[in-house]
Amino acid sequence: MRLSTQTIQDHNTQLDARHQAALKRCREALDEIGVDAEVLISKIEALSIAIPSWAMGAGGTRFGRFSIGGEPASLEQKLYDVAIINDLTASAKSVSLHIPWDIPRDLQQSKSLAADLGLTFDAINSNSFQDQKDQGHSYRHGSLSSNVKAAQRQAIDHNIEVINLGEALGSKALTVWLADGSNFPGQVDLRAALSRTRDALQEIYAAMPADWTLLVEYKAYEPNFYSTVIADWGTSVYLAESCGDRAHTLVDLGHHLPNTNIEQIVATLMMRGRLGGFHFNDSKYGDDDLTCGSVKPYQLFLIFNELVQGMLDDPSSEPAWMIDASHNIKDPLEDLIQSLDAILLAYAKALCINRSILAEARTNNDVVHCQEIIQSAFLMDLRPILQEARVRAGAAISPIQLYRSAKIREQLIKERGHMTQATGL
Amino acid sequence: MRLSTQTIQDHNTQLDARHQAALKRCREALDEIGVDAEVLISKIEALSIAIPSWAMGAGGTRFGRFSIGGEPASLEQKLYDVAIINDLTASAKSVSLHIPWDIPRDLQQSKSLAADLGLTFDAINSNSFQDQKDQGHSYRHGSLSSNVKAAQRQAIDHNIEVINLGEALGSKALTVWLADGSNFPGQVDLRAALSRTRDALQEIYAAMPADWTLLVEYKAYEPNFYSTVIADWGTSVYLAESCGDRAHTLVDLGHHLPNTNIEQIVATLMMRGRLGGFHFNDSKYGDDDLTCGSVKPYQLFLIFNELVQGMLDDPSSEPAWMIDASHNIKDPLEDLIQSLDAILLAYAKALCINRSILAEARTNNDVVHCQEIIQSAFLMDLRPILQEARVRAGAAISPIQLYRSAKIREQLIKERGHMTQATGL
Amino acid sequence: MRLSTQTIQDHNTQLDARHQAALKRCREALDEIGVDAEVLISKIEALSIAIPSWAMGAGGTRFGRFSIGGEPASLEQKLYDVAIINDLTASAKSVSLHIPWDIPRDLQQSKSLAADLGLTFDAINSNSFQDQKDQGHSYRHGSLSSNVKAAQRQAIDHNIEVINLGEALGSKALTVWLADGSNFPGQVDLRAALSRTRDALQEIYAAMPADWTLLVEYKAYEPNFYSTVIADWGTSVYLAESCGDRAHTLVDLGHHLPNTNIEQIVATLMMRGRLGGFHFNDSKYGDDDLTCGSVKPYQLFLIFNELVQGMLDDPSSEPAWMIDASHNIKDPLEDLIQSLDAILLAYAKALCINRSILAEARTNNDVVHCQEIIQSAFLMDLRPILQEARVRAGAAISPIQLYRSAKIREQLIKERGHMTQATGL
Amino acid sequence: MRLSTQTIQDHNTQLDARHQAALKRCREALDEIGVDAEVLISKIEALSIAIPSWAMGAGGTRFGRFSIGGEPASLEQKLYDVAIINDLTASAKSVSLHIPWDIPRDLQQSKSLAADLGLTFDAINSNSFQDQKDQGHSYRHGSLSSNVKAAQRQAIDHNIEVINLGEALGSKALTVWLADGSNFPGQVDLRAALSRTRDALQEIYAAMPADWTLLVEYKAYEPNFYSTVIADWGTSVYLAESCGDRAHTLVDLGHHLPNTNIEQIVATLMMRGRLGGFHFNDSKYGDDDLTCGSVKPYQLFLIFNELVQGMLDDPSSEPAWMIDASHNIKDPLEDLIQSLDAILLAYAKALCINRSILAEARTNNDVVHCQEIIQSAFLMDLRPILQEARVRAGAAISPIQLYRSAKIREQLIKERGHMTQATGL
């Protein structure tokens, strides 16, 4: 199903007066601090975050999964779901596939459907953390790091197939997340496992087209609970450097030890030219995969503070943006809309930081003033800017409100049934 | 399948010379520190740890599960698996069922099978964290804490059924672990959720036979990632006190925030007469459910130091002992044997602490000496004591070695096939 | 030194136009969501946070301390510092003394100076975590928990003296923070230490006037690094209950293990009628004692969400409010002003949560909506409300700006010199 | 004061029978697992750990410090203290100075005293985290990372002076630990601070003699509580690589985020040829600086497992070993002896791991067996081996026992008085 342009316009018309008043107030507030609202709006319009194909279904934990009806059962249906989100928000113009969950039955058809829906294919993800039915060799003891030659070979070949598939679809990057590691002290030769991973990544890197990027994700723990081969950014950068200039680190916000200063990692990676991409989500304890900005909105803002600064310094350094959340008790589409909103809001606020005054306060080591500058941007209410950016792009002032009033989930259930289950976690 | 007494005896005969030599050395070392090896051996013989019915199958994470062949597909097969462990170790004389995973098809048959196998039924576990097929009301938004009256009712009734089942089998305790909580700030009224949980537990408590105990488990997080209704021991004790004298706290080692001093919680619970039971496992990050003693053996010893002290002061305070681990990459039966070994070793070492000298060193605030006393017990090599305790009880000197040489897993696979999957996580 | 009313008025006049415009926008935004700006302003005006006497000097860490000039060297000077903060903000109307750091040289003089400055004496703090010169017995091995009778006696007597002093000054509460604990496994008998602490607190409680409250603070760790006697809220409540109805728990935001859900603890304490007071600060790693709201402003808001709800349900449950931060690299007075601002802002936002709609969304388990409701309050820019509340109370629109333009620190340095060092940490 | 050879011999004679019996049992147990006791003893004899000059005094926290009498007040006295430890243990043959705390009054005298005492000078430590009296520029806002040119210059110059001093004393390495960082989001330009640090380290590196090594320490947090410039091993390796081949990473066990897998970091650093040195201590919460092995002895063993493996693979990779603990409530000399014991025990156990069988089990991905192999080494009681190594080297069978019976602390107090305070933390 699609939302008609008319439906969206009707919604916007209805909310227009209220929106205009709020926008006017927001413009005045921005004027006060010397920020050009138009520039802000256009930058917000320009940002698009990729939606992972696996995020359209209800997620779960090892303790269970509570289905929501109308989940997409095929790649085609997933593309339609992303299109709905993009119609409502105008900030989700691409999809990030996960192979083998999303192998297209018909490549050309998928490609043209995506084009029709106004979507492109972002970084493509391989999967060597689960065994698939009738898989030749198990990943029980690892994939790229495995000391079982045949299993490692299979994992390398799988990644190369994913590259080929991605190339056919127009992707320009491969994201590799390895679950490889160990559960018990002594279980693996830690150095040998890292060496094998490096060698395997080099082979995958060599198989990429010349305009592709390799994104090496790291994660502190889970599903392995003693060691993880690519446990931190330092290891990821080492592997990226071992591969070549087009290998970069991918940061997933939930993949860190308690209390990690993630924004500092982002700054360091940008300084070293190795920040390749982002998986946005939020968490309180571990890789909780909660809605972006739902638990630590200030941290999200501080990360964007670094990103904005880094992109100002080097515009070519913009990373690949992606959401990677899991929706255990929310309607996944609503959840994704909330995530997009939180990301855009953090970005907008980071754009409002007065960087020349901040630079001066830092030069003077005026710590109190630095905090005031940073926080005064965070405290701005910029929701009207996001609304206006959506209006201009033909999207909805209040996406969730429209999603509900247009009874989209109900229609999806009618179309697809109550019992479908999307592939993914 | 069962191990014949002869098989075990042959194994022991083969290892006897080596065992006797080691035991002799161990006795001498114990003599040196004034510990009576015979008392130690008999205390080790007397300790039995319940095996949870769900631990005989391969566990997994939300990212996947790697099956092992020959997993038990029925309660009957699970009982046989526990019997194998008990035959090998003589320290697993009971089983802890999980309902509805283990509803007996025939109560009397299960009961007499258990008796034939030399097993009893320990605390029984309810499950209101997953929806079962054809369940009337979903636990998506909680169970005992739910504001959906019908769902809460269903959860209470389920617990009462579990009690009835347990009574028929000879259990004397109900373990309640609630996943109830929330994923997002604001999602629930925290106080109301706690009140509803208290009221529901009181109703369950009232339904218990007069000689039963209610064990209230707590967990800091997971599967809910913002708040958990029974998040810590303080909340568990509050609920237990709200129920009555036969309600106690159950401690699962993996259910704490980073860096928690668990042994102090154990001490406090014993002091307040509210330590009801234990779920043993080990972990590095969260509720990793690893083999006991595989990551933090010293912590396990320190916990037993408190337990031994507490049981000395009040022999009636012995809690219910249970393993609760998940076996993602090990043969579950081997893993359980390793866990039993680690628990018994920690217990044996804690029994070697010279408590009168320790008391004196504490009185003098001789911190250096206190540490020496504690650590000198931990540094003893007491494996021969465990072996001797097993020999005397007719079990194996080296259980895993015998498990492997007797090709038990291979036989289970032959009997049950490669593709079975045990119920559980 | 004092700020003259004229100075403040001049400052406000200068910023008036800008303030009025911002206030107008804010009123409109509040109108949109149905919040009465006047009610909000008056509630903000009514909130006052106690300033701890030790916070007016530069703090430090074990690695060093970087002095700032003009630190108050006497209780009198500390009172003047609080008066400056209160003149600027109108929200710091009381001071919380720490004995023996702040023993008045002349009780009556201190009392009348405070009255002249418009200040009262809030909860008074004892100190049994440091040895004072010529102290009879060392607290090296603990104070209230000590097994050295004379040291425990001394600590009890000290607390009783503090009560007497506080009574003379008009305080109505005693705050007890114990550093007592141990650094090494085995060092202390954990249960005996808790028992001795309970007995000592009961004696202190009995010595309090009938209208006094005992506030029992807890802390997970530091300065002891293995165990702390009062390590968590559960232990604090146990001790409070052991004393009587006027003993309550005091929550310091920095005194928790990583990832603790503090707002849930607040909710539980309010439900049980045991929330006595707050020490506000912020932190990323441990008891970092940073400026309130500087690292986790959303957490602060969520805590106020619970507080507002609790005080709505039971207006008598308002706790004692205090800042407890340490100012290593900021001017302490500026830091305290930033902390007050962050606290009031969190409070104001929490007051904007539409509680009837939230209750309805919770009843419907509409998780997405609950989040929207909570966050839409947090996203409001309510700084103009705080400014207006200050204006009405005769304080400054922009306290830090005025503090700087009036060159207050420079004057303090001139008055007191560069080399003074305030007592405290 | 010194211990006479006769005193030690008398002590050993007294304990000899007991020691010989224990050693005999230990030899037999080692024979059983195919380990040559003689090789083990000689390896233990060969290991020496440097004692930091600041560790001979009572440490403290920001909340206070409890003095112990007889603390060394000069470098000379510190050398005597190390000599006592070395006389007792034969495993502390060098001292690691900290400048400016330990600037020798007379270089030649210090050098010849050390030689007389049988001691050498290990890595020397600079200090740019505290302001010294009459220091030209404050480190309030950083040292090597400072944007205050003069402060940065001063810190570089200080390090060069430390190198010169170290060269005169015979040191071969400089250890740089930077406290530099920030307390509040926004306070510093994270990338600029890292760049400045890199540039400054390069200058220091260039000033080192050709046979010197630069050890770059990292620390996750404290004393800065938002960001630390060199926060993790990844940053440290980046800086080391930016300097040259003789720059390495120094690992302090207490400088990590919660749950960090330190042994994996050690393995990675060894694989990359960048492990330069170790600061041993133990901790439960943060940089607690507790006695080595007092809280997590198994972690210490696992670290030595990696070290032994790494040194087997490349004997030139042996890092600089040092203790860095703080002794708040123990006699520092006793504490250091306990630390040495724990380190040597971990090393001895790691040497007992059967590496060929482990390699085979790993090849087979026999996880259960891997754990058995690792743990069976850890479970050995190897205290007699340490005793025998000491006896052969002329040191004491039971160092703490002799330390006490010889009344060394009492004599130090007599010589130096009750009120001395060693320089340091």
Tens of pLDDT along chain D (425 residues) come to 789 999 999 999 999 999 999 999 999 999 999 999 999 999 999 999 999 999 998 888 999 889 889 999 999 999 999 999 999 999 999 999 999 999 999 999 999 999 999 999 999 999 999 999 889 999 999 999 999 999 999 999 999 999 999 999 999 999 999 999 999 999 999 999 999 999 999 999 999 999 999 999 999 999 999 999 999 999 999 999 999 999 999 999 999 999 999 999 999 999 999 999 999 999 999 999 999 999 999 999 999 999 999 999 998 889 999 999 888 899 999 999 999 999 999 999 999 999 999 999 999 999 999 999 999 999 999 999 999 999 999 999 999 999 999 999 999 999 998 877 666 66
Residues of C within 8 A of A368 (CB-CB) are 330-331, 334-335, 338, 400
Cβ contact, residue pair B64, A290, below 8 Å? no
- What's the pLDDT score for residue B64? 87
Cross-strand pairs, A321: A278
Closest residue in B to D302 (Cα–Cα):
B295
Cβ contact, residue pair A232, D227, below 8 Å? no
Cβ contact, residue pair B285, A290, below 8 Å? no
Give the Å distances, CA to CA, from D307 to B311, D267, D314.
41, 8, 10
Cβ contact, residue pair C370, B227, below 8 Å? no
Residues of A within 8 A of D267 (CB-CB) are 190-191, 194
User: How many other β-carbons are positioned within 10 Å of the β-carbon of residue D104?
Assistant: 20
CA proximity to D338, closest of D119, D125, D121, D92 = D92
Residue B268 has pLDDT above 80, yes or no: yes
Residue B83 — pLDDT band, cuts 50, 70, 90? Answer: very high
* Sign of the dihedral through C-alpha D49, D55, D57, D59: negative
Q: Which among A270, A309, A362 has CB closest to D188?
A: A362
Residue D238 three-state SS? helix
Residues of D within 8 A of C60 (CB-CB) are 62
Measured CA to CA, the distance from residue B350 to residue B357 in angstroms comes to 14
Q: Which among D191, D195, D367 has CB closest to A187?
A: D367
Chain C residues within 8 Å of chain D (Cβ atoms): 60-64, 66, 129-131, 138-141, 179, 183-185, 220-223, 225-226, 258, 283-286, 288, 290-291, 294-295, 328-329, 425
Residue A423 has pLDDT above 70, yes or no: no
Residues of B within 8 A of A141 (CB-CB) are 329
Beta strands in D50-170 (DSSP E): 50-52, 60-61, 64-65, 94-96, 120-121, 124-125
- What's the pLDDT score for residue B195? 98
Q: Say which range, B51-60, B280-289, C287-296, has the weakest mean pLDDT.
A: B51-60
Residue C80 — pLDDT band, cuts 50, 70, 90? Answer: very high
CA proximity to C254, closest of C354, C159, C324 = C324
Cross-strand pairs, A69: none
- What's the pLDDT score for residue D419? 72
Q: Based on the number of CB atoms within 10 Å of its own CB, is B194 exposed (0-12), middle (13-18) or buried (19 or more)?
A: buried
Specify whether the backbone of B142 is left (phi greater than 0), alpha (psi in -120 to 50) or beta: left
For A342, list phi and psi in degrees, rounded to 5: -65, -40
Residue A422 has pLDDT above 80, yes or no: no
Query: Model confidence over C48-71: pLDDT tens digits?
Result: 999 999 999 888 899 988 988 999
Cβ contact, residue pair C365, B227, below 8 Å? no
Cβ contact, residue pair A260, D257, below 8 Å? yes
Q: Which among B226, B260, B302 has CB closest to C257?
A: B260
- What's the pLDDT score for residue B280? 97
Residue C410 has pLDDT above 90, yes or no: yes
- What's the pLDDT score for residue B1? 78
Chosen from D261, D272, D306, D312 to mutate, greatest number of chain A CBs within 10 A: D261
- Interacting residues of D25 by C-beta distance below 8 A, sequence separation 6+: B25, B28, B29, D384
Query: Model confidence over A96-120: pLDDT tens digits?
Result: 999 999 999 999 999 999 999 999 9
Cβ contact, residue pair C130, D64, below 8 Å? yes
Q: Which two tokens stand for residue A373?
A: 């500058």
- What's the pLDDT score for residue A198? 98
Most distant pair of Cα atoms in chain A: their distance? 66
Residues of A within 8 A of B66 (CB-CB) are 131, 138-140
CA proximity to C385, closest of C353, C355, C347, C336 = C347
Residue with the two structure tokens 């004298």: B245
User: How many other β-carbons are positioned within 10 Å of the β-carbon of residue B209?
Assistant: 12
Chain C residues within 8 Å of chain A (Cβ atoms): 18, 21-22, 25, 28-29, 32, 258-259, 261, 284-285, 291, 293-298, 329-331, 334-335, 338, 345, 367-368, 371-372, 375, 378-381, 383, 400
Measured CA to CA, the distance from residue B385 to residue B377 in angstroms comes to 14
pTM (two decimals): 0.98
Residue B205 has pLDDT above 70, yes or no: yes
Residues of C within 8 A of A361 (CB-CB) are none
Q: Which among C234, C257, C267 has CB closest to B233?
A: C234
Query: Model confidence over A198-245: pLDDT tens digits?
Result: 999 999 999 999 999 999 999 999 999 999 999 999 999 999 999 999
Helices A262-271 and A233-243, interaxial angle, to 10°?
A: 20
Q: Which among D21, D381, D400 has CB closest to B379?
A: D381
Complex ipTM over 0.85: yes
H/E element holding B265? helix B262-271
Residue C423 — pLDDT band, cuts 50, 70, 90? Answer: low
Q: Which among B259, B293, B375 has CB closest to D285?
A: B259
Per cent of chain C over pLDDT 90 is 92
Give all chains having 3 or more CB-to-CB distances under 8 Å with chain A: B, C, D
pLDDT (average), residues B147-174: 98
Residue B423 — pLDDT band, cuts 50, 70, 90? Answer: low
CA dihedral C361, C366, C368, C369 (to 10 degrees): -20
Cβ contact, residue pair C179, D223, below 8 Å? no
Residue B349 three-state SS? helix
Closest residue in C to B183 (Cα–Cα):
C367
CA proximity to B246, closest of B279, B276, B270, B201 = B276
Residue C172 three-state SS? coil
Query: Model confidence over A126-155: pLDDT tens digits?
Result: 999 999 988 999 999 999 999 999 999 999
Measured CA to CA, the distance from residue A62 to residue B319 in angstroms comes to 28
- What's the pLDDT score for residue A273? 96
Residue C134 — pLDDT band, cuts 50, 70, 90? Answer: confident
Query: Model confidence over B224-263: pLDDT tens digits?
Result: 999 999 999 999 999 999 999 999 999 999 999 999 999 9
Per cent of chain B over pLDDT 90 is 92
The pairing of beta strand B227-228 with beta strand B181-182: antiparallel
pLDDT (average), residues C274-296: 97
Cβ contact, residue pair B183, C365, below 8 Å? no
Cβ contact, residue pair C271, B194, below 8 Å? yes
d(CA C263, nearest CA chain A) in Å: 12
Where helices occur in B170-245 by DSSP H, the ranges are 190-207, 233-243
Chosen from A381, A398, A401 to mutate, greatest number of chain C CBs within 10 A: A381
Cβ contact, residue pair A185, D298, below 8 Å? yes
Long-range contacts of B369-372 (CB under 8 A, 24+ apart): B370/C184, B370/C186, B370/C187, B370/C188, B371/C184, B371/C185, B371/C186, B371/C187, B371/D291, B371/D294, B371/D338, B372/D338, B372/D400
Query: Model confidence over C204-226: pLDDT tens digits?
Result: 999 999 999 999 999 999 999 99
Give all chains having 3 or more CB-to-CB distances under 8 Å with chain C: A, B, D
Q: Which among C148, C186, C221 has CB closest to B370?
A: C186
Query: Model confidence over A26-36: pLDDT tens digits?
Result: 999 999 999 99
Cβ contact, residue pair B130, A64, below 8 Å? yes
Average pLDDT, chain C: 96
d(CA B339, nearest CA chain A) in Å: 13
Residue D174 three-state SS? strand
Q: Which among A28, A345, A367 has CB closest to C25?
A: A28
pLDDT (average), residues C298-306: 98
d(CA D285, nearest CA chain B) in Å: 6
Measured CA to CA, the distance from residue D219 to residue D196 in angstroms comes to 18
d(CA C290, nearest CA chain D) in Å: 8
Give all chains having 3 or more CB-to-CB distances under 8 Å with chain B: A, C, D
